[in-house]
């Protein structure tokens, strides 16, 4: 019964991307920590102003897509992530946010978020891949 209460508090929602089960004629759902991770991915992938009915939802990570990774840009990314989570994900408390440059020539960062789920007091983490260069089929310079 306690697990049911924790799951109810943590929420259940559509999987992302939306997936449909033909056998059950229903939308696939996610819950618990999987739902939190999917919600965080949607949050970081949504630009502020993109949702008409909820204009302040999202993060401004896309504004940094062409910036070189300097200490200032790293701090701006960390602040944007913290602010988005504070405003839109009440189920968790952020423990730390680490930004690591994974592939400098490809412009790939990993944003690692360690967090505590408030209701269950369990720790978890999410690594969000972020690309500082425009998506393209061209190979990076050698």
What residue spans define the domains of the chain? 2-131
Distance CA 16, CA 20 (A): 11
Q: Which CATH class is domain 2-131?
A: alpha beta
Distance CA 79, CA 97 (A): 9
pTM: 0.75
Contact indicator for 6, 120 with CB cutoff of 8 Å: yes
| pLDDT by 10s per residue, the chain, length 142 | 344 444 555 666 766 777 777 787 777 767 678 888 888 999 999 999 999 999 999 998 888 877 888 899 899 999 999 999 999 999 999 999 999 888 777 778 889 999 999 888 889 888 888 765 554 444 444 4
């Amino acid at each position: 019964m306690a697990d049911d209460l924790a799951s109810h508090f943590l929420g259940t929602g559509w999987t992302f991307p939306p997936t449909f089960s033909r056998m059950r004629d229903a939308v696939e759902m996610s819950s618990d920590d999987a739902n939190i991770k999917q919600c965080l991915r949607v949050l970081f992938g949504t630009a502020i102003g993109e949702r008409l009915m909820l204009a302040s939802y999202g993060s401004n990570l896309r504004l940094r897509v062409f910036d070189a990774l300097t200490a200032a840009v790293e701090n701006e990314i960390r602040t944007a992530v913290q602010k988005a989570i504070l405003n839109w994900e009440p189920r968790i408390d952020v423990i730390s946010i680490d930004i690591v440059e994974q592939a400098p020539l490809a412009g790939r960062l990993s944003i690692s978020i360690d967090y505590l789920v408030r209701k269950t007091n369990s720790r978890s983490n999410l690594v969000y891949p972020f690309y500082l260069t425009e998506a393209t089929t061209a190979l990076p310079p050698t």
